[in-house]
Chain A
Amino acid sequence: MKEMLQNLREASIRAILDCEDAELLESLRVKYLGKKGELTSILRQMGKLSPEERPAMGQLANKLREDIEEAIEDRNKVISALRMERRLIAESVDVTLPGKKQTLGHKHPMYNVLDQIKDIFIGMGFEIVDGPEVELADYNFTKLNIDEGHPSREWTDTFYFTEDSSILLRTQTSPMQIHAMETKELPIRMIAPGRVYRKDEVDATHSPMFHQIEGMVIDKGITMADLKATLNLVVEKIYGKGTVTRFRPHHFPFTEPSCELDIQCHKCGGVGCPTCKGEGWIEVLGAGMVHPKVLAGCGIDPDVYSGWAFGMGLERLALGEYKINNLRLIFENDRRFLEQF
C-alpha cells in the first residue's frame, strides 16, 4: 500500500505539473482526489491493513492528499498567470496606429486675445459693459468733446444712417464711457470691448469693421499715477513680466492730459529693427485722464471725481500676438486659418 501511495504521488504530481489547462487540472483533481478517485480507491484498501499499520498509513495518505491539493493549487496559479500572459500578448495593439479622432472646435484667435484681456481686467475688479453699435452722434462725438467740424465726423470717415448726421455706426468704443457715466453708480471700473466701424477700404491693415477695447475708471482721487500703475500692470500681463513701457504725450479730445503707451520692442530690445520699424518702441494703446468737461457733461463733478480711460485696438494686438501678417485673414474665416489657434 505504501508503494501504491508512492506510485500515486509520483503519477499525480507529474500529471499536475504537466497540465497547462485549468479545466484539465480540475479533472485531475477529480481523478486523484474525487469520491471515486484514485486516492479514495487506495484508502478503501485500508481495511486490509493491521491496526498497527493503519495510523501510519492514514498519515501517509493524508499527507499525499494535502500535497496533491497544494500541487493543484500552485499549478492553478501558474496556469492563470500563463493564461493572463497569453491574453495580454493576444490583446496587444500597434500603439503607433492613429487615435480615434475627436474634433474640437477653436475659438477665433481674436476672441482668444479678447478673453485674455477680459480676464486680466476682471481680476482687477473691473466689470465688462456692452452697448449699441448703432449710436447717436451725440454719444460718439459731441459728449466726447469732439465738436462739429472735427474731421472724424465727416461723411468720408464715418458711416451715417441719417442725413442730419445724428445716427451713425460708432467709430470707437469711447461712447461707452458716456453710457457708463450716465447710467452707472460711482465709482466705475469698467472695460467695454466691441465692434467699431470706420470708412476704410479693406487692405492688409485696415477693415471697415474692427474691434476696440475701451476702459475707464472714475473715482475720487484717481490720478495719472494710477493710470500708469494700472496700465503698466495690464501690459505686463499681456506682454510678459519685465516689459518696458514708455508714456508719451498724445492728443485725444476726450482726455486731458492724453498719452500713448509704447512698449519697448521685445525683438530688438529698443535698438530698432523691422518689427518696430526702427523706432525701438511699439505703440500699444492710447489713454488719458477723462477730460473734466466730459465728466461735467455727464453730470459728474470734476472737482470731486476724476478718472482715466484708455482705448486699444484688438486686431493689432491679435495680429501681433499670433504673428499674423494680414488683417484680411481675421475676417476671412478660412478653416485652415481658424484651426491653427
Chain B
Amino acid sequence: MKLSRKWLNEFINLPLSECGDRRFTEAMSVSGSKVETTEDLSQMIRNVVAGRIVSLEKHPDSDHMLVAKLDIGRESPVTICTGAWNVHAGDVVPVALHDSLLPTGARITRGKLRGVESDGMLCSLKELDCTLHDFPYATIVPAALLNDYHPIDPDKPSISADIKPGDRIFGKVITAKAIKVENAGEGFWKCSLEPEAVTVTECSNIHEGDLVAYNTAEDAICTLEDLRAKQEEFPHCITDGILVLRENCVPGDDIGKLLGMDDHVVEFEITPNRPDCLCVIGLAREAAVTFGKQLKLHKPVVEAKAGGDINGLAKVVIEDDRLCTRYTARMVRNVKIAPSPEWMRERIRNSGMRPINNIVDITNYVMLEYGQPMHAFDFACVDGGEIHVRCAREGETMRTLDGTQRELSTSMLCICDREKPVGIAGVMGGENSEIVGDTAMVLFESACFNGPSIRRTATSLGMRTDASSRFEKGLDIENTVDAVNRACELVEMLGAGEVVEGIIDVLPNPVKKTTLKLEPEKINALLGTELTAGEMVRILEDLGFTVDGDLITVPSWRGDVEHYSDIAEEVARFFGYNNIPTKFTGAISSCGGFTDFQLCERRVGEICRSMGMDEIITYSFISPSYYDKIRIPADSPLRDSLRILNPLGEDTSIMRTTILPSMLEILTRNCNFRNKSVAFYEIGRIYLKRDDGMADEPRMISFGAYGGGVDFFTVKGWIESLLGDMCKGVLRFEADRDNPSYHPGRCAAVYLDGKRVGVFGQIHPKVMDNYGVDSEFYCAELSFDAVYANRKDLAVYRPLPRFPSVTRDIAVLCDREIPVGRLSECILSSGGQYLRECELFDVYEGDSIPSGKKSVAFSLTMRADDQTLTDDHAEETVDSILKALSEKYGAVIR
C-alpha cells in the first residue's frame, strides 16, 4: 500500500516539516504499520522549470531543428535547441535546465547542438515519465508539412520538390503556405494561408513559411492520414513532441511541484488481517493514534439534483447472500467523460495507479481513500436495468476490461444483468459495460463480497487486481454507503454528471457488532504490564472502539478483533511493544537437554567428519524417474512413494523411499563441477507410506564418495569404524549380488547381530551410465534407527592387561571361494579363552599355491588375565583353531 504524505495531511495534521521520513517510518512500524520504503518524489526531478517561449527560430545549421529562447523567470532567458515542431512562441513548456534530473533517471547538461549552445532540453511527456493519462490534453496532431516531404522512391516523388502554393495535390487538396500562425486557445491554431484562406486547426506543428496540404472543400489542413501518407515520407511530422502546458503556471515554476512530486510516498507492508489499512483513511487512523493527532474525517454530502430516483430505474438482486453480503449502488446521469482534475490525477499517480478519466478515476480515488473498491457500469449496457449478483452459469464467458475473453466457472461470483455477466465480482468489470467516451448513465457499485471466493476466482483467472486483493481479505461491510456517496460527491464536485436521487442498498443479513469484555487483569497478565483500565480505554477509543463500562464494541472495520487477546494486542501496540518490560516471568522447572537419540545423531556426524566426509543436505522429494535411474524393479515396494498431487515439477514430485538417488545426484553434480574427489555423508529421512496415508519417516545415514583412492574397502572401513564405535553386537558383512543399484561383485549387506542394517558398495556401471558419469561411485546406506537401537551401553572400565600377550602367525590353504570373513569368524569362535585378536595379514594366490586354492595368513594374539601364557597354552589355542578351520572349511596349515 502506497501512501502519499500530502494526501495523509488531509486527515491528520502531520506535515513533513514536523515529522520527517525517519521518524514517521520508525513510529508507524513499531505501532504495527510496517514501512517498507519511503520515496521522496522531489528527489526524482530537479531543476526542471516552466519556461515561456519568447522566440523561436530555425536552427542555422539544421533543416529540422528549432532554436527557442525561453523566459524562465530569471534575469536572462535561456536558449534551447529542440527537434520538436509542436512548439510556438508564447507556449509554456517544461524546461530541463543545465544539471537537471528527470523522473526517468536521465541527467541533462548544457551542450552544443550543431554549433548552437543549448542550455538544456525541452521535455516531452515521456521524458517526465508521464503518459496522456496524466496530461490528457497533450495529444499532438501533426499536419503533413510538404517542406518535410521525403519521397520513398527519390525517382518517383508523389509531391514534386518545386511545388508552390496554389498547386493542386489531388481533388480539392491544394498546396498552401502558412503566412501567420496564431494561438486560438484550447489547443487550436488559427492559420492564415496563401492562397488566401484562414482556417483553424488542431495541428500544432505548423509555423510561418511551412507548406501545408489544404483541403479547400473541408477547410482543413491535411494530416498524414488525410494524405494516406506513410510516416517515413514525413519523418518530422510526428505525434511525439514537447508537452505544452495549459496549467496556470508562470515562467520559473517548479515542474516537479506541478507534477505533484513535492510529495513523499510511503510504501507499507500491511498484514493480511488489516485490510482496513489498505486506504488513506485507515492509515490516517493508525497515524493519528501513533502521533497523538486529531483524525479529521469528512462525511460525504451529495446534492443529487437530477430528477427521478434510482429505485425506479434500477433493481439489484443478490442471489447468493453467502458470497455477496451487501450491494450498494447509486446512479449518475448526463455523464460527461473528461479528464479528472490535476489534483486528483496527482494523488492517483502518487498512489501508484494511472489516471484514466473522471469516472474511472473517481472509483479508484474512492478505493484509495476509503479502501472500498468501486465499479462503474455504463448503465445503458445493463440489460433490463437489473443487477443480479450470482455465480456464473455453466459455459458463460465474458471479455474483461483488459480485453481478454474469460471462461467463467460456476464457482465464480459475477455481476450480471438480466441475461449475462457484466463483471466478475470484486475482480474486474466486463468490456460490455465499460465506461467509454459517450457513456451517459453510470451505475456505481459499492459492494461487499466473500474474501476467499474472490481470491480463488482471481487466482484461477490469473488476475489479482487492486480490487480483488482488497476484497480477498474481507472488507468493512459498513463502508459501502459512505464510499458510494463519496463517489457521487466527487462526481458533483468535478461536474462529471448529475447524481440521481436515492440509493439502492441490499443487505440480506443484518450486520452483527462484535462485543468483548474489557478484562484489564487478563491483558496485563498476558503482556507482563501494569496498565490501568483507563489507559487501555483511551487507546481503544482513539482507535474507534466504543467502551461502555467493561463492554467493548469493536468497530465494523476491525473484523480481526474478536478475542481479549486481540484487545491486548491493540493496547500493546500503542503502549509500545518496546515499552513492555523485559523480564523473565517463567521459572525454569524442567531440565531440558539433548535426548539420547539427538546425542547419537551428533556423534554419527562427528565420526563421519573425523573420517573426512563432508555433510550434505538434499531434498526430501525426488523424481519418480530416479527409481529407474538406480534400476529399481518395476514391482519393487520401494516404488510405492507418497506422491505430491500438486508438485512444482516432476523432479520434486514424490517423497523418497531410498536415500541413494539423492546422494547420486550430488555426486554427479560434483563430478560435473570437475571436483576431483569427494566424500559425503548425510543423515536424512526417507518417507515410507503408511496405511493411514501418512508416513513413517526413519532416518538413514548415507555415504557417497569418488576419487582420492576411495574404493570398496575405504567405505567398508568407514562403516566398521562408525558401527564399531557406536554399536554393540557382532558386525558382519555378506556379499549382496542382487542389489540392482550396486556392482554385483562389489556390494555387501551389513548385519548387526544378524539383523540387516544397511548396504554399501560400488555403484553399478549401468547406474553410472544412467547418470552419465564416467567414474566409480561408492555409496552406503545405513539405518540410523538401527544404529540408535544398537547403541553401546555406558562403558564400564576393564582393567588393563597385567600379563604379556603371545602372538602366533598362521597361514592356511583353503578353497579360494571361501570368504576370509568366514575364516576369521571361525578362528574367533574356536580360539578359546586366551585368543584376544585375530588379524588378517595376507591373502595370496599364485606360484606355489595349487590352482583353486588360496593362502590366508592371520596373526593371532593370545593373553590371559591371571598369568603369563606359556608356549603350551599358545600351542593348544592354535591347534584348536587349526582343527576347527580344517573341519569347517577344509583349510590346512601351509
Contacts and interface: CB of A to CB of B under 8 A. Distances in A.
Contacts of A103: 612, 679
Contact of B272 (A104, A121, A151, A156): A151
A333 B31 contact: no
A187 B614 CA distance: 38
Interface residues of B, number: 91
Interface in B580-596: 580-595
Most chain A CB within 10 A, of B274, B572, B621, is at B572
B563 interface: yes
A209 B619 contact: yes
Given A107-B609, A247-B578, A219 B669 contact: no
B592 A136 contact: no
Interface in A258-313: 258-259, 277-279, 281, 289, 291-293, 306
Contact of B648 (A160, A201, A289, A335): A201
Contacts of B563: 256, 291-293
Given A127-B590, A133-B685, A256-B566, A163 B528 contact: no
A124 B669 contact: no
Contacts of B681: 105
Contact of A104 (B560, B565, B612, B644): B612
Interface string B12-43: 00000000000001000111101011000000
Contact of A258 (B569, B642, B646, B648): B569
A208 B652 CA distance: 9
Given A248-B577, A333-B616, A335-B678, A122 B593 contact: yes
A278 B37 contact: yes
A257 B569 contact: yes
Nearest to B270: A251
Interface stretch (B146-154, B299-307, B691-699, B839-847): B691-699
Nearest to A330: B617
A63 interface: no
B868 interface: no
Contact of A133 (B32, B272, B583, B620): B620
B883 to A, nearest CB: 44
A161 interface: yes
A169 interface: yes
A269 B726 CA distance: 48
B586 A155 contact: no
Nearest to A162: B693
Interface string A210-234: 0000000101011111101110100
B435 to A, nearest CB: 31
A291 B273 CA distance: 15
Contacts of B525: 221, 223, 306
B609 A226 contact: no
Contacts of B666: 333
Interface in B621-645: 621, 642-645
A226 B585 contact: yes
Nearest to B673: A334
Interface stretch (B401-409, B451-459, B506-514, B786-794): B451-459
Contacts of A277: 37
Nearest to B584: A229
B327 interface: no
Given A225-B580, A225-B583, A256-B565, A248 B642 contact: no
B585 A105 contact: no
Interface residues of A, number: 88
A339 interface: yes
B702 to A, nearest CB: 12
B526 A224 contact: yes
A121 to B, nearest CB: 8
Contacts of A323: none
Nearest to B36: A279
Contacts of B31: 249
B580 A110 contact: no
Interface string B539-565: 000000000000000000000100111
B142 interface: no
Contact of B695 (A125, A132, A257, A333): A132
A176 B426 CA distance: 37
Given A104-B612, A330-B617, A338-B616, A250 B271 contact: yes
Contacts of A166: 693
Nearest to B666: A333
A249 B680 CA distance: 43
Given A104-B610, A105-B612, A187-B589, A306 B526 contact: yes
Interface in B268-310: 271-274
Contacts of A335: 614, 670, 673, 675, 678, 680
A122 B590 CA distance: 11
Interface string B726-750: 0000000000000000000000000
Given A105-B681, A225-B581, A226-B583, A248 B592 contact: no
Contacts of B616: 108, 333, 338
A154 B456 CA distance: 9
Contacts of B586: 187, 189, 217, 219, 221-222, 226
Contact of A334 (B592, B642, B669): B669
Interface in A76-102: 102
B296 to A, nearest CB: 25
A146 B887 CA distance: 72
Contacts of B652: 208
B781 to A, nearest CB: 17
A44 interface: no
B66 interface: no
A161 B771 CA distance: 29
B588 A189 contact: yes
Given A221-B586, A224-B528, A230-B584, A160 B612 contact: no
Contacts of B642: 134, 161
Given A134-B695, A189-B590, A224-B528, A151 B274 contact: no
A248 B589 contact: no
A104 B607 CA distance: 10
A251 B273 contact: yes
A156 B528 CA distance: 40
Contacts of B694: 132, 134-136, 167
Contacts of A251: 271-274, 560
A331 B617 contact: yes
A221 B572 CA distance: 18
B611 interface: yes
A322 interface: no
A35 interface: no
A189 B592 contact: yes
A54 interface: no
B859 to A, nearest CB: 26
Contact of A246 (B30, B582, B587): B30
25 contacts: A102-B612, A106-B615, A108-B614, A108-B617, A121-B592, A127-B593, A128-B598, A133-B620, A134-B642, A134-B695, A151-B455, A155-B646, A159-B647, A161-B644, A195-B620, A208-B619, A223-B585, A225-B581, A226-B586, A228-B581, A256-B563, A259-B577, A292-B564, A335-B614, A338-B615
Interface of A: 102-108, 110-111, 115, 118, 121-122, 124-128, 132-136, 148-151, 154-156, 159-163, 166-167, 169, 187-189, 195, 197, 199-201, 208-209, 217, 219, 221-226, 228-230, 232, 246-251, 256-259, 277-279, 281, 289, 291-293, 306, 330-336, 338-339
> Nearest 9 pairs between A and B by C-beta?
A225-B528, A223-B528, A105-B609, A103-B612, A257-B569, A249-B32, A149-B452, A251-B271, A256-B565
Interface of B: 25, 29-32, 34, 36-37, 271-274, 451-452, 455-456, 459, 472, 525-529, 560, 563-566, 568-569, 572-573, 577-578, 580-595, 598, 602, 605, 608-621, 642-648, 652, 655, 666, 669-670, 673, 675, 678-681, 685, 687, 693-695, 697
Given A136-B694, A256-B566, A333-B616, 8 more contacts: A225-B528, A225-B585, A226-B585, A226-B586, A257-B527, A331-B618, A335-B675, A335-B678
